[in-house]
Amino acid sequence: DTAVSQTPKYLVTQMGNDKSIKCEQNLGHDTMYWYKQDSKKFLKIMFSYNNKELIINETVPNRFSPKSPDKAHLNLHINSLELGDSAVYFCASSQVGGGYGYTFGSGTRLTVV
Amino acid sequence: GNSVTQMEGPVTLSEEAFLTINCTYTATGYPSLFWYVQYPGEGLQLLLKATKADDKGSNKGFEATYRKETTSFHLEKGSVQVSDSAVYFCALSEYGNNRLAFGKGNQVVVIP
């Protein structure tokens, strides 16, 4: 199936740990994104890569580091996890320009305890 | 900058009722407009879109018309079902700008 897939779907971890979330798309899109959704469902963009180049880097703690080994993959690494990092993280992709909308992954629910 | 405003608060209605969710936008250019739906425990799915003024997007009985004069893109459905219970997000993007601006979302609960 053509899709945006992210793993894991659920992640429960202790404060201070380092964790990664992986994302892959097989839609042939050039641009990929990471969004954070808080408990009130508010969506906030974190990062965007266009063909492996970082093009959007919102004000997020530098404990969050994206990595794009190729245009089909965008991973998110989080160091020294904090309670406030608990949220649902969505990966998405789009054709260049974004005017056709995004295709979203199913999300990773991160719980920091 | 670009922004999207959705009406405040959740929407609760009975099955077969008429649904309207208001969405207005601010944009510097000529945006494309979208409605996304998020069912419980899932990611966002594109519900419908419109790319220019007076276009009407439609899908699954939902409709929205791109109104440039009122900068609005209200979502409507004539007869909702329990399965329409979800969170609905209005969004916009301008061609060449990879950023998709989302509204805050509206929780819709349809009661049998």
Which is it for the CA torsion B59, A107, A69, A48, positive or negative? positive
Write out pLDDT tens, residues B31-76: 899 999 999 888 999 999 999 999 999 999 999 999 999 999 999 9
pLDDT greater at residue B45 or residue A2: B45
Task: Indicate if the pLDDT at residue A48 is higher than 60.
Answer: yes
DSSP letter, residue B69: T
- What pLDDT is recorded for position B85? 97
d(CA A98, CA A17): 34
Average pLDDT of chain A is: 91
Pair A59, A69: CB distance under 8 Å: no
Asked if residue A87 has pLDDT above 70, the reply is: yes
Of the residues B6, B34, B59, B100, the best mutation for testing chain A's interface (the one with the most A CB atoms within 10 Å of its CB) is B100
Closest CA to B103 of B43, B51, B33, B20: B33
The backbone torsions φ and ψ at residue B82, rounded to the nearest 5 degrees and listed phi first, read -55, -35
Asked if A97's CB is within 8 angstroms of B97's CB, the reply is: yes
**pLDDT score of B29:** 80
